[in-house]
A = this chain, B = another copy of it.
Amino acid sequence: MIKQVLTISLLAGVMFAPIYVFAANEPIQPIKVVVPEKPEVAELGKMLFFDPRLSRSGFISCNSCHNLSMGGTDNIKTSIGHKWQQGPINAPTVLNSGMNLAQFWDGRAKDLKEQAGGPIANPGEMASTHELAVKVIASMPQYVAKFKQAFGTDAVNIDRITTAIAAFEETLVTPGSRFDQWLEGDKGVLNQHEIEGYELFKSSGCTQCHNGPAVGGTSYQKMGVVHPYITRNPAVGRMDITGKEQDKYVFKVPTLRNVELTYPYFHDGEAATLEKAVEVMGKIQLDLDFNQKEIASIVAFLKTLTGKQPEFNLPILPPSNNATPQPQPF
């Protein structure tokens, strides 16, 4: 990130240098706009992201649980899957998710492309299969034309479907938050209460994990470093991947960007409010008992992390035709 900042400073000339040097000294850096390398691939990915025909029922799309009208989440404790199955874990936001070191709470997918294939074929989520999803998409000539535009040939396969979805997701960044404006030198944009919150956020140790441009997403940490986290949710985190006892309850640190929009909090969705989340984190991770005033100031700071939400036209999808496998909702 720092390398990127310096490059931009050089390009922008000496005039802007002090601003970026300032930002580079902070544990949090501004979010940068992502310009997709291949816009046709991202554009196709947007259509697929909104297409409920990737699910067996024809009712659930990526956007159902990562709703881009609502901070890239579903805002419920754990998600609703095929036939209203209750999901095991809170849906993380897709916003700025390209900055995560890996995907899912336990990091079991190495990148967005690998992640995108998961829910499609998960019987508890979209309940399709990769084979069926490919058959559905490949049946529509309008989609096939888009694949040809995006990839050069008209082959439709799960590799290309997930590549396109990931390319769209990479663009879902939220620059321009008030905090980023402040980082970039506009000192009047935060009030004293918010700045105090940020100072407390740093001095308390929150930035040990919640740092970088995404204010998280860059490491795995135990949920309950100092005191155990009490929950009925059976998820054990990284242990499922590594098999190691020491990875029990170790999860990917979530991004705090747009955290005002991504309630409820934690992998189990059990913290309904930011106040509760800050209180619990302070206690179990840092052994701190924040008082109400401290909590309020940290929450005020966290709300400055809400950025400009991705703005785009709702995609219009090609119609199914007589060759398209029909949805099986019931």
A26-40: CB near B (< 8 Å → 1, else 0) gives 000000000000000
Flag whether A221 is at the interface (Cβ < 8 A): no
CB atoms of B319 and A86 under 8 A apart: no
Take A260-B319, A261-B319, A313-B313 as given contacts and tell me if A59 and B80 are in contact as well, using a CB distance cutoff of 8 Å: yes
Q: Which of chain B's residues have a CB closer than 8 A to the CB of A329?
A: 76-77, 80, 86
Q: Which of chain B's residues have a CB closer than 8 A to the CB of A156?
A: none
A80-97: CB near B (< 8 Å → 1, else 0) gives 100110100000000000
Chain B interface: which of A50-58, A109-117, A146-154, A176-184?
A50-58
Q: Which of chain B's residues have a CB closer than 8 A to the CB of A53?
A: 75
Distance between Cα atoms of A314 and B309 in the complex (Å): 10
Flag whether A165 is at the interface (Cβ < 8 A): no
A255-280: CB near B (< 8 Å → 1, else 0) gives 00000110100000000110100000
Take A68-B314, A312-B313 as given contacts and tell me if A320 and B75 are in contact as well, using a CB distance cutoff of 8 Å: yes
Instruction: Closest B residue to A328 by CB, please name it.
Output: B76
Flag whether A194 is at the interface (Cβ < 8 A): no
Take A263-B320, A313-B312, A314-B69 as given contacts and tell me if A327 and B58 are in contact as well, using a CB distance cutoff of 8 Å: no
- Pick from B261, B314, B322: contact of A312, CB under 8 Å: B314
Flag whether A131 is at the interface (Cβ < 8 A): no
Instruction: Closest B residue to A74 by CB, please name it.
Output: B59
Flag whether A67 is at the interface (Cβ < 8 A): yes
- Pick from B69, B75, B314: contact of A58, CB under 8 Å: B75
Q: Which of chain B's residues have a CB closer than 8 A to the CB of A77?
A: 329
Flag whether A71 is at the interface (Cβ < 8 A): yes
CB atoms of B52 and A67 under 8 A apart: yes
CB atoms of B80 and A57 under 8 A apart: yes
Q: Which of chain B's residues have a CB closer than 8 A to the CB of A76?
A: 57-59, 327, 329
Q: How far is the CB of A191 from chain B (nearest CB, A)?
A: 18
Take A52-B67, A58-B74, A313-B314 as given contacts and tell me if A84 and B83 are in contact as well, using a CB distance cutoff of 8 Å: yes
Q: How far is the CB of A181 from chain B (nearest CB, A)?
A: 19
CB atoms of A69 and B322 under 8 A apart: no
Q: Which of chain B's residues have a CB closer than 8 A to the CB of A261?
A: 319
Flag whether A317 is at the interface (Cβ < 8 A): yes
Q: A50-B69, A75-B320 are in contact. List 15 more A-B contacts (CB 8 A).
A: A52-B67, A53-B75, A58-B75, A58-B76, A68-B314, A69-B314, A70-B317, A76-B329, A80-B329, A83-B84, A84-B84, A86-B329, A86-B330, A311-B313, A311-B316
Could you write out 5 A-B pairs with CB less than 8 Å apart? A52-B67, A59-B76, A69-B316, A263-B320, A272-B322
